[in-house]
Structure 1
């Protein structure tokens, strides 16, 4: 029997040592490994095997009883047989949920058919229990005949109208954010170190903004690079003018950086000159919610600060996402990605 190596509904799957093309004379099964819940969705599960087949049982909870009326199901990432070099494959946005959930011949039918209460419209239950959930291999093969030759990651996102409720997702690895380098430009100086603690990376030091003007606008320019930090290209830019309320928001990609690390806190009016940074880092989950492929790239973010239309100063942060197979009980990295970046904490002075 050959096991289909598949990330089914954000599960990590595994093949046997041999990757095979489809053979109708063989029986194929999906083999599960684990499930990860992203913010706003919680749950627990177990994976068990019965007569050479694997099943998943457990529960999942949504953060709200708002009716789910749009379900982006799913975002597919295709990986090589070892689960590496993943790439975006395709995504579906499903809005006619009521009709599709009744269809017994979809790739999700067997999975959601195991949920209790049944997932039927209106989708407004808070907690669902699932028993003996699995997937149907033949339906996967009809969708994509080469499905057996890859590992898969699938992210499922729940929406109520245009309001994002949450998602569940399964990376094969645990990711941590490493800040590689900070470069300062006129009127802003940095003196910092990048330190490690239990496999995670933190920035400590101080920064100064030499100006007597009040900062009221920030422009962030994102550059997306190959994992080695080369072949960079412009990705997108954000212009934030209502920065006072945004600095108070706890769920933005900058919240952990400015909200928990700077002393004094970065709040309006932004008129302080000197700041201490203690254990500065970025939370991964808000980044993944914005761009699910973020972990596949090296990033350069330039933050330009303005007083009206006058540029006060800017600095650039370079980051990379490190995939760790496991972090041991002492906080040591057991296995990292091939780049080896996780082994070399950097200390920099500008």
Structure 2
């Protein structure tokens, strides 16, 4: 059985869903001018709050509501620090991330000393459509959270680009002085954007713990919050770019999970990597010398097919290494960050 089969595609979609949910919320927050570097901590808060709720009521719907509440709690703290107190957003975000890790670890040890496991979300099989080759198992035999994620992305696109609220949101992140002069509440919009981000990240965290894995473990989000932030940056603060970035990260993560169980790197990996590099060179038209050299090396590996075995710890780092490479390859010219991103707004300065 090859690496890129139906099970691989399903795994990539499952990995992508919580990252996409959290990244969509982070995109909304950053378009309003607030960057939450501590998104990983918010995800952890949602994961633990959802799990803690499940240990008390054993109801997944209430568990997800608990996860959303946990995400909102840390998001509210971020809003208080960044919007009201006006501290440096990067510093505040780092503090939120550390707090999320430490607080969830402490609460887990004291409130749930004996780990409990739960059944993950059941998959909803759509008759007839689920029997379609490839597309059936991938699209029409999934759990409710994946469908909800697609709905949230569609709703976010509609709200951000087709409503007055979305226009005001962009104005708040670009020129808050002008937005304020036009009667837009900069403070209110930033608060609403930060809370929406927290709610979506909380739901994503709850999915990781009670919807997918079925138990909470220390630091179980595994850097997905950082990948969500990287997806927003690499996507140039546009939803379609964010979707592409999340897809790349999720596929890479799914690949590394497969490769950990294989004694050597399959030849198809070198072929896929060569195609990916070629596509990147065509689309980005940057780094042709370095990219060309990498492409030639990958083509040679695909042809020779050497027996290469790498440690599992190296495979685990693949998505994050790729995130760094993608951000560096994109270049500052592709990043169209909101002008007021991370900048506090004081109305008296207008």
Range of TM-score over shorter length: under 0.3
Q: Which has the higher contact order (CA 8 A, sep 6+)?
A: 2
Give the TM-score taking structure 1 as reference length: 0.26
Q: Using structure 2 for the length normalisation, give the TM-score.
A: 0.26
Which structure has greater strand proportion?
1
- Greater Rg over alpha carbons, structure: 1
Larger relative helix fraction: 2
